[in-house]
């Protein structure tokens, strides 16, 4: 009989899904991935491809000899995703949050009236990014499907239910800009109660808790051992954050709270500042409170960095800038000296400036031709990295209420200050942690901060989920190099001026 010494992490992001098999030391023994895209539901709306993903997982694991060694299984998934069950399976297919679902005038007003930012710390977001809006839309647009609903649960817990047969809900997923959760009280929101949704949600459990073994039929079909223990699961950004909560010991506190900001990157760049004050959150700038795996309020800012990065690349490779034939930071310095600016926003969903159409300035003049024609591949790669670094800097300053974050470029410290509460530890996870130009620019924009990446080759969401199972931190931090970029403070002030705040 095989030793059950491995942990299977099901890591489902918006663009990609992964299966990772970790050993007891947190090393990845085997990994599989596939692209993730929405499908059209039987009711006609864009839906999450749960059936396609399940078939892929089953086929992949059944052909994987190491799957027979799994002693634990846990899922980490993107937020703004809910699953509804009837008595046997799906009551209706879970909505894709990018679906531009529309509420009619009266319904929109009633919905908005029930969404109090002071209660939920969740802003009004486009599409279905507020999970409550998905429920409202489905309930009113497809009442027959809604009447089949017997149980609701977040996305990660759906996979736990599919494997174990035990339904559960989890706080970090419910508290992810959903309008469904009151993070002050740790209970469902007034809206969720008033609409009758709260009683439909499966019982609350903690992310690390064991639900029980894999169902016998699933074990046979998926090639998993029936003794493998299924854990509740977690919202992906919060899985990543969980690795660093140990840094928030009292001896590490500065000013009114711990100075730690985590930057997780992917389709979204999510910046989480445990210990910052929720009083500084500005709803219309896509600032909100997440809820960590312990149920605590975590001030958060977001922008759709992966999409915006790709837009600015306009076909270039992300590593086209700063090759081995140039000095470190040379392409960034060329942007500064140009100057060449990218002014938000380049994605229509989410972020503090999503309502604005992005543009590129070269020496104060807007580029009107496609970027691929106006700029070299190296320029576009450097510009994309600098843009994401500036957006990250703006978000960090806003979360910690650093002067200059509100767009007043004449205030000293707009590009970072050593004396600000936020000038503590900044940790970058995900694809941006592997982008040299982004890292150089971020450290230069935040001279008072100690910026780090995680030396682990495994992305933080999956490793964080593994750590929840094993109560392990597994965070090996590497400090970022400090490379002089003369003029970057003035460059960033010009960028803030270009935002044209009133």
CB 293 within 8 A of CB 207: yes
In the predicted structure, residue 479 carries a pLDDT above the cut 70: yes
Closest Cα partner for 388 from 294, 301, 305, 320? 305
Quote the mean pLDDT of the chain.
89
Percent of residues, the chain, with pLDDT higher than 70: 91
| Model confidence pTM above 0.75 | yes
**Which one, of 495, 478, 406, 482, lies nearest residue 447 by Cα?**
482
Q: Angle, nearest 10°, between helix axes 377-399 and 330-337?
A: 80
* Residue-wise pLDDT tens digits, 232-264: 999 998 999 998 887 775 444 433 444 799 999
Contact of 239 with 76, CB cutoff 8 Å: yes
What CATH class has 6-232?
alpha beta
pLDDT in tens, 21-61: 999 999 999 999 999 999 999 999 999 999 999 999 999 99
Whether 102 has a pLDDT exceeding 80, the answer reads: no
Helix (H) and strand (E) counts in the chain = 17, 28
Find where tokens 């495994």 sit. 458
pLDDT in tens, 190-213: 999 999 999 999 999 999 999 999
Domain ranges of the chain: 6-232
């Amino acid at each position: 009989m095989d030793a059950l010494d491995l942990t299977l992490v099901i890591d489902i992001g918006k663009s990609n899904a992964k299966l990772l098999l970790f050993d007891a030391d947190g090393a990845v023994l085997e990994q599989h991935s596939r692209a993730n895209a929405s499908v059209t539901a039987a009711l006609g709306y864009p839906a999450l491809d749960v059936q396609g993903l399940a078939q892929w997982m089953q086929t992949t694991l059944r052909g994987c000899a190491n799957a027979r060694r799994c002693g634990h299984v846990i899922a980490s998934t993107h937020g703004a995703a809910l699953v509804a069950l009837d008595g046997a399976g799906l009551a209706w297919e879970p909505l894709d949050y990018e679906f531009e679902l529309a509420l009619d005038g009266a319904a929109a007003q009633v919905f908005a009236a029930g969404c109090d930012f002071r209660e939920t710390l969740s802003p009004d977001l486009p599409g279905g990014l507020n999970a409550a809006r998905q429920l409202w839309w489905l309930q009113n647009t497809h009442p027959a499907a809604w009447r089949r609903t017997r149980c609701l649960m977040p996305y990660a817990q759906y996979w736990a239910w599919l494997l174990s047969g035990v339904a559960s809900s989890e706080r970090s997923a419910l508290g992810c800009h959903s309008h469904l959760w009151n993070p002050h009280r740790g209970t469902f929101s007034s809206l969720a109660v008033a609409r009758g949704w709260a009683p439909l949600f499966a019982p609350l459990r903690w992310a690390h808790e064991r639900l029980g073994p894999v169902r016998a039929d699933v074990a046979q079909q998926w090639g998993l051992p029936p003794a493998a223990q299924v854990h509740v699961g977690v919202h992906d950004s919060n899985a990543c954050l969980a690795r660093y909560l140990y840094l928030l010991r009292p001896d590490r506190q500065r000013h009114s709270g711990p100075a730690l900001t985590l930057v997780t990157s992917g389709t979204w760049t999510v910046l989480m500042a445990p210990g910052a004050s929720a009083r500084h959150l500005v709803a219309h700038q896509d600032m909100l409170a997440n809820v960590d795996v312990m149920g605590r309020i975590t001030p958060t800012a977001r922008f759709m960095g992966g999409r915006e990065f790709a837009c600015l690349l306009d076909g270039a490779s992300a590593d086209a800038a700063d090759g081995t034939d140039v000095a470190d930071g040379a392409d960034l310095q060329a942007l500064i000296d140009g100057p060449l600016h990218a002014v938000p926003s380049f994605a229509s969903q989410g972020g503090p400036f999503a309502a604005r159409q992005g543009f590129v300035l070269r020496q104060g003049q807007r580029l009107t031709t496609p970027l691929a024609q106006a700029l070299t591949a190296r320029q576009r790669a450097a510009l994309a990295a600098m843009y994401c670094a500036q957006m990250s800097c703006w978000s960090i300053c806003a979360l910690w209420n650093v002067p200059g974050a509100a767009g007043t470029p004449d205030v000293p410290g707009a590009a970072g200050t050593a004396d600000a509460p936020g000038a503590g530890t900044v940790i970058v996870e995900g694809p941006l942690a592997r982008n040299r130009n982004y890292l150089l620019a971020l450290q230069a924009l935040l001279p008072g901060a100690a910026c780090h990446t995680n030396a682990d080759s495994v992305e933080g969401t999956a490793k964080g989920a593994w750590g929840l199972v094993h109560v392990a931190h597994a965070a090996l931090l590497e400090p970022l190099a400090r490379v002089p970029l003369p003029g970057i403070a003035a460059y960033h002030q010009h960028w803030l001026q270009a935002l044209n705040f009133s």
